[in-house]
């Protein structure tokens, strides 16, 4: 069974691999290279074809801008199955954009640092991989420098996101109250996602108007970060995004030491200290006993518990005492017998929707982050359950993009939603099974 699943997963990844040296997340639905997808994909590839994993990350980093920024989508090819495409995003408006690749002007969670460390852990020929890392690591460092220089408006070690698509958790209910502060035009456009996936599992037209409106505002300012920070209606500190940055700092420190190149270590350690403190001071909610998002526009926390709240385990952010509380919150709200771990949004909230994208379903990349984070704190039983639930969902339903967390429904119907043959579900299952 295990061998069979791994074989299937490899077939999916090979099928989604493209000539330009990158892997698409999903045929039809996502036909380009996505930043954090590429990272998770490389972890899976490293288990059976390390050269492919190296290429995946090298291609991603090749699209870096002059200021260290790495875009969330790189439009390697002309594809009209996707909206909004390169002509909407117009990365050329920024004088700092890559001249070689068209891309978006927004980013995604900074996973690349820890992905390099994972590749090193998995690789058989460590010496060879270290040589490869030596050719790439400064680009990842420059990306972190970009976040600390241009995205940390209050100088507290936390990077802001200016668009929900930068979070990776695209239509989370977390953003609902921000949409209420905006009144975007009723844009005319033809969506493509709903030609691939049932509309009931995707965001609404009105939600898309908001998404496009933020892009238009950023374009008016030619993707200048300072101006975006001043004018974007959406400006948020996201616990998942910052946990990925912190975890990646830690990996860069380890890898630079392994390389015997310590010139950047002191700076990384300084960032790391500041970020962990900022994260614990600003994002911890004493009443909810969880990390939450923070709305910089309103200067107020967004008080909901999501699977992003638990990503802090992976980055070693909470003290053991706080980690115990966080685990209690997780199991109390998300851990009932009737549920698969781990729903993406608080199942007790009236905003929870078990079928809709990031408003409730289980995602395999979040489960992978959780599994590794829980193990880091010695919560081995819960980690094991997260792993088994992930495998069970894929085994029963297939390599879908997201899954219904309610077990009862799972008994009677197929509960895999969104895209099928989804790359990171395949890649991370390989890693969980190995
Ligand atoms: C969806 C997800 C995002 C992912 C992208 C490509 O937009 O919300 O996190 O990167 O698909 O798979």
Indicate whether 411 pLDDT > 80. no
**Buried b or exposed e, range 235-268, using 16+ CB within 10 angstroms:** bbbbbbbbbbbbbbbbbbbbbbeeeeeeebeeeb
* Among 298, 331, 281, 294, CA closest to 182: 298
Instruction: Provide the pLDDT for residue 408.
Output: 87
Ligand 1 contacts CB of residue 179 (under 6 A) = no
Interval 229-243: pLDDT, tens: 999 999 999 999 999
Instruction: Provide the pLDDT for residue 79.
Output: 83
Instruction: Provide the pLDDT for residue 41.
Output: 99
Query: Distance from the CA of 354 to the center of ligand 1, in angstroms?
Result: 17
Q: Residue 97's pLDDT band (boundaries 50, 70, 90)?
A: very high
What's the mean per-residue pLDDT of the chain? 97
167-181: average pLDDT: 97
Q: Residue 116's pLDDT band (boundaries 50, 70, 90)?
A: very high
State the Cα–Cα distance between residues 122 and 384, nearest whole angstrom. Answer: 20
Ligand 1 contacts CB of residue 377 (under 6 A) = no
Looking at the DSSP assignment, which residues form a beta bridge with residue 236? 161, 295
> Which strands make up the sheet holding 236-237, listed edge to edge?
160-161, 236-237, 293-295, 300-302
Question: 286 by DSSP, 3-state: which?
Answer: coil
259-288: average pLDDT: 98
Instruction: Provide the pLDDT for residue 102.
Output: 98
Residue 243 · residue 312 · CB < 8 Å: yes
Instruction: Provide the pLDDT for residue 80.
Output: 81
Instruction: Provide the pLDDT for residue 319.
Output: 98
Instruction: Provide the pLDDT for residue 1.
Output: 79
Q: Residue 337's pLDDT band (boundaries 50, 70, 90)?
A: very high
182-192: average pLDDT: 94
Indicate whether 298 pLDDT > 90. yes
Higher pLDDT: 305 or 77? It is 305
State the Cα–Cα distance between residues 167 and 148, nearest whole angstrom. Answer: 17
Which of ligand 1's atoms lies nearest the C-alpha of 37?
10
Indicate whether 111 pLDDT > 90. yes
Instruction: Provide the pLDDT for residue 346.
Output: 98
* Among 335, 106, 113, 140, CA closest to 243: 113
Please name the residue whose Cα sits nearest to atom 11 of ligand 1. 30
Residue of 29, 38, 44, 170 with the most ligand 1 atoms within 8 Å of its CB, for mutation: 170
**Buried b or exposed e, range 100-116, using 16+ CB within 10 angstroms:** ebbbbbbbbbbbbbbbb
Indicate whether 334 pLDDT > 90. yes
Instruction: Provide the pLDDT for residue 192.
Output: 92
State the Cα–Cα distance between residues 211 and 205, nearest whole angstrom. Answer: 10
Indicate whether 410 pLDDT > 80. no
329-345: average pLDDT: 98
Instruction: Provide the pLDDT for residue 92.
Output: 98
Ligand 1 contacts CB of residue 25 (under 6 A) = yes
Ligand 1 contacts CB of residue 241 (under 6 A) = no
Higher pLDDT: 412 or 200? It is 200
CA distances from 185 to 3, 182, 189, 301 (A): 51, 10, 12, 28
Query: Distance from the CA of 125 to the center of ligand 1, in angstroms?
Result: 32
Q: Residue 265's pLDDT band (boundaries 50, 70, 90)?
A: very high
Active site residues per annotation: 170, 401
**Percentage above 90 pLDDT, the chain:** 96
Interval 17-50: pLDDT, tens: 999 999 999 999 999 999 999 999 999 999 999 9
Ligand 1 contacts CB of residue 34 (under 6 A) = yes
């Amino acid at each position: 069974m295990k061998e069979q699943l791994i074989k299937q997963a490899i077939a999916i990844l090979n099928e989604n691999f493209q000539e330009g040296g990158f892997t698409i997340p999903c045929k039809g639905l996502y036909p380009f290279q996505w930043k954090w997808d590429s990272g998770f994909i490389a972890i899976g590839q490293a288990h059976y074809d390390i050269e492919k994993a190296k290429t995946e990350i090298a291609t991603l980093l090749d699209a870096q801008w002059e200021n260290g920024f790495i875009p969330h989508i790189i439009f390697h090819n002309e594809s009209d199955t996707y909206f909004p495409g390169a002509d909407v995003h117009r990365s050329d408006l920024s004088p700092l954009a890559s001249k070689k690749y068209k891309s978006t002007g927004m980013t995604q969670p900074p996973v690349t640092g820890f992905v390099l460390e994972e590749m090193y852990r998995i690789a058989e020929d460590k010496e060879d991989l270290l040589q490869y890392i030596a050719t790439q690591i400064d680009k990842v460092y420059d990306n972190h420098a970009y976040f600390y220089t241009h995205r940390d408006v209050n100088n507290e070690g936390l990077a802001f996101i200016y668009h929900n698509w930068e979070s990776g958790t695209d239509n989370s209910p977390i953003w609902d109250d921000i949409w209420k502060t905006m009144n975007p035009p009723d844009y005319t456009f033809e969506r493509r996602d709903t030609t691939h996936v049932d509309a009931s599992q995707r965001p609404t037209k009105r939600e898309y108007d908001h998404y496009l409106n933020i892009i238009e505002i950023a374009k008016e300012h030619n993707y200048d970060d300072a101006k975006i920070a001043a004018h974007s209606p959406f400006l948020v500190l996201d616990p998942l995004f910052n946990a990925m940055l912190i975890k990646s700092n830690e990996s860069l420190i380890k890898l630079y030491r392994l390389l015997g190149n310590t010139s950047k270590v002191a700076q990384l350690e300084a960032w790391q200290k500041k970020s962990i403190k900022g994260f614990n001071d600003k994002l911890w909610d004493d009443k909810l006993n969880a990390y939450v998002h923070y709305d910089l526009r309103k200067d107020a926390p967004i008080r909901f518990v999501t699977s992003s709240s638990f990503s802090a385990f992976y980055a070693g952010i909470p003290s053991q005492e706080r980690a115990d509380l966080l685990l209690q919150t997780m199991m109390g709200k998300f851990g009932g017998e009737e549920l698969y771990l781990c729903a993406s949004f608080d199942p007790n909230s009236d905003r929870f929707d078990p079928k809709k994208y990031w408003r409730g379903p289980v995602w395999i990349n979040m489960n992978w982050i959780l599994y590794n984070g829980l193990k880091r704190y010695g919560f081995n039983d819960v980690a094991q359950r997260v792993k088994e639930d992930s495998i069970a969902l894929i085994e029963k339903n297939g390599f879908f993009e997201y899954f219904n967390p309610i077990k009862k429904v799972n008994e009677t119907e197929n509960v895999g939603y969104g895209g099928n043959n989804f790359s990171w579900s395949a890649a991370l299952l390989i890693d969980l099974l190995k």
